[in-house]
Amino acid sequence: MNIVLMGQGDFGAACLQALVEKGKTVVGVFAPPQVPGKKAEALGAAAEKLGTRVFPLERMREQKAYEDFTSLSPDLSIMAYVNDIIPGRIINYPRFGTIHYHPSLLPKHRGRSSINWAVINGETKGGLSIIWADEGIDTGPILLQREVEISPDDTTGSVYFNKLFPMGVDAVVEAVELIEKGVAPRIPQDDSQATYEPPCTEEKVIIDWSQPAQKAYNLIRGANPQPGAVAYLKGTKVKIFDCEPHPELRGEKPGEIVETSDQGFIIFTGQGCILVKRVQPEGSPKISAPDYIQLVSLKVGDRFDLT
């Protein structure tokens, strides 16, 4: 069975490596082009190392993409971490169609920021889906799903890299083998249970310190490592990353600094406190919270803007 892999990054590269190791025939890879002066794009680099043909294209809607794709005579195509919109004429061209990895238990959390919103919402269960791609956004029939726990201290990064990344690579290989055996299911999604969230951008993760500490904590860990939860100190933006709830202390006003130490600084919220451990001042690399204390001369009684 001839397979074409469309994707990018470390996940796409890991899927390619796993398929090749299992003896699958990957006849071509579509990946973003290399950018001069920057780190090599992982999927394209892995394909070159393995001797797999690479087609570097920004947009799969281009006529050249269709011509290159069909020239490979694919029986199946796989979308492994694809942000581009794939046209129907490519999705439907292979004999077995196209399958798509998505890091949520569809139909819940359709869209490209599915892990972020699950963590921000304080959910305790997540997972992944391998679906038969169609022309909708994460709407195709389900081939298989796998569930994972989201612990109270998980971040979007830990859920993805420690859980859904390795599990997803295995699931892609398993899905291909089910298709080869002719036993891959096509389970329609229940659209009445569907949720869809917008991309998790900086504008969506500005911390409101008047909210309870747990809600602010969920927002911060859901935006970690990308895009970083946004706060403002005297009108100056700073992103907050590593932190933990700190229920013992209280302050008078939400956003107020109630303690500084060699661990970081504690902010009072609308209910409870948060110990901040790592931040990123605007235009600077990430630094420890104690270093930030020194950088801006932060002291007890200073106050972050409410929004």
Domain membership flag for residue 150:
yes
The pairs formed by 275-279 with CB atoms below 8 angstroms and a separation of 24 or more are 275/243, 275/244, 275/245, 275/246, 276/240, 276/242, 276/243, 277/241, 277/242, 277/243, 277/244, 278/240, 278/241, 278/242, 278/243, 279/238, 279/239, 279/240, 279/241
Please check whether residues 118 and 241 belong to one and the same domain.
no
Please check whether residues 85 and 137 belong to one and the same domain.
yes
CA 87 to chain centre: 23
Amino acid at site 35: V
Please check whether residues 175 and 258 belong to one and the same domain.
no
Please give the average per-residue pLDDT across 153-173, as a whole number. Answer: 98
pLDDT at 304 over 90: yes
CATH code of the domain covering residue 176: 3.40.50.170
The single residue listed with the structure tokens 């013992």 is 248
Please give the average per-residue pLDDT across 8-31, as a whole number. Answer: 97
Residue 257 has a pLDDT of 96
Between CA 277 and CA 289 the distance in angstroms is 5
The mean pLDDT of the chain is: 96
Please check whether residues 273 and 125 belong to one and the same domain.
no
Cis before 107? omega within 30: yes
Residue 128 has a pLDDT of 98
Range of the domain at 148: 2-193
Residue 34 has a pLDDT of 86
Domain membership flag for residue 231:
yes
Banded pLDDT at 3 (limits 50, 70, 90)? very high
Domain membership flag for residue 99:
yes
Domain membership flag for residue 302:
no
Banded pLDDT at 142 (limits 50, 70, 90)? very high
Per-residue model confidence as pLDDT tens digits over 101-128: 999 999 999 999 999 999 999 999 999 9
Q: Give the end of a domain, one of 193, 228, 253.
A: 193
Between CA 213 and CA 252 the distance in angstroms is 14
Per-residue model confidence as pLDDT tens digits over 24-46: 999 999 999 988 888 889 999 99
Please check whether residues 177 and 129 belong to one and the same domain.
yes
Per-residue model confidence as pLDDT tens digits over 69-96: 999 999 999 999 998 889 999 999 999 9
pLDDT at 307 over 80: no
CATH code of the domain covering residue 281: 3.10.25.10
Please check whether residues 10 and 142 belong to one and the same domain.
yes
Q: Give the end of a domain, one of 193, 213, 243.
A: 193
pLDDT at 250 over 80: no
Please check whether residues 40 and 119 belong to one and the same domain.
yes
Q: How many domains does the chain have?
A: 2
Please check whether residues 66 and 160 belong to one and the same domain.
yes
Q: Are 245 and 274 in contact (CB under 8 A)?
A: yes
Amino acid at site 120: I
Please check whether residues 136 and 263 belong to one and the same domain.
no
Q: Give the end of a domain, one of 127, 162, 193.
A: 193
Domain membership flag for residue 301:
no
Domain membership flag for residue 113:
yes
Please check whether residues 220 and 151 belong to one and the same domain.
no
Per-residue model confidence as pLDDT tens digits over 181-234: 999 999 999 999 999 999 999 999 999 999 999 999 999 999 999 999 999 999
Domain membership flag for residue 136:
yes
Between CA 277 and CA 7 the distance in angstroms is 34
Please check whether residues 151 and 48 belong to one and the same domain.
yes
Instruction: Quote the pTM value.
Output: 0.95
Please check whether residues 144 and 11 belong to one and the same domain.
yes
Domain membership flag for residue 138:
yes
Instruction: Supply 70's token pair.
Output: 């069909």
pLDDT at 239 over 90: yes
